[in-house]
Amino acid sequence: MNSFRLLLILFLLPFVAQAQYPELPSMSVVTENAQNKLSWTCQYDGVKSIAIQRSADSVKNFNTIGVLNNPKKGIQSYIDNRPLAGKNNYRLQIMFAGDVEWFSNLYKVILDSNVIAKSMEGIIKTGSTNANTDYNNSGSGSVSTDFYYTPSSQIYTNPYTGHINISLKDALTKKYSIRFYDPKKNEVLRVSRVTKPMLILDKNNFNSPGTYHFQLYDGTTLSETGYITIY
């Protein structure tokens, strides 16, 4: 009898896991410690990429905050550790082989700024490296909370690897270059010429974990500015 129960439990476990993580186009969004965890089950073969996108207005202006390349069938998840104060609207952009594009359902999460602030206070008290050193203070060891920014859809941190993804579709016809600066505004890294539409920049090229400012140039013209996070 006990053996039968054990076999029944082992048989049911995959179905329980499946129930917790709905199949695309649905997904589950759980908020914990002012971070939003998105989870879903990919039931398809031949998926080229899944991009996690976020918007503050739910209608347009979606920005890609993470990309999962060549995902396999099964349970997948993404943690947005820098959600916006207020409305966070999430969707997944699923690209199939042959460049067939498909979107998941839309999910809205509202985070109170006080919840985010209290969470960041906890991070600072525990000495987490997610808190940035305040370089503007003359005293040493002072710490400030992270600031929030809208990630670029062209230059962003891959949440799965920590490396920097540079996605410039017209790189072959443009003269793109990129400069990265630390919080003291010192230039720490320069890509003199981007020669590929997709480039991965190793996070070890940066001095230390933290938030870095970047400037994207097309020739001598400033094309975009933004921030990336090294962790």
């759980």: which residue's tokens? 30
Phi-psi region of 46 (alpha: psi -120 to 50; beta: other; left: phi over 0): left
Tell me how many domains the chain contains: 2
Query: Following DSSP, what letter does each residue of 104-166 receive, concatenated?
Result: ---EEEEE-HHHHHHHHHHHHHTT-TTSEE-TTSSSTT-EEPPP--PPPSSEEE-TTT-PEEE
The verdict on 99 and 177 lying in the same domain is: no
pLDDT tens readout for residues 51-108: 999 998 877 789 899 889 889 999 999 988 888 878 899 999 999 887 788 999 999 9
The verdict on 33 and 103 lying in the same domain is: yes
Going from the C-alpha of 198 to that of each of 166, 193, 195, 216, the distances in angstroms are 6, 13, 9, 15
CATH at residue 94: 2.60.40.10
* Domain stops at, among 86, 111, 136: 111
């920590």: which residue's tokens? 162
What's this model's pTM, rounded to 2 decimal places?
Answer: 0.49
Domain that holds residue 205: 152-230
pLDDT tens readout for residues 103-132: 999 999 888 766 666 655 544 444 443 333
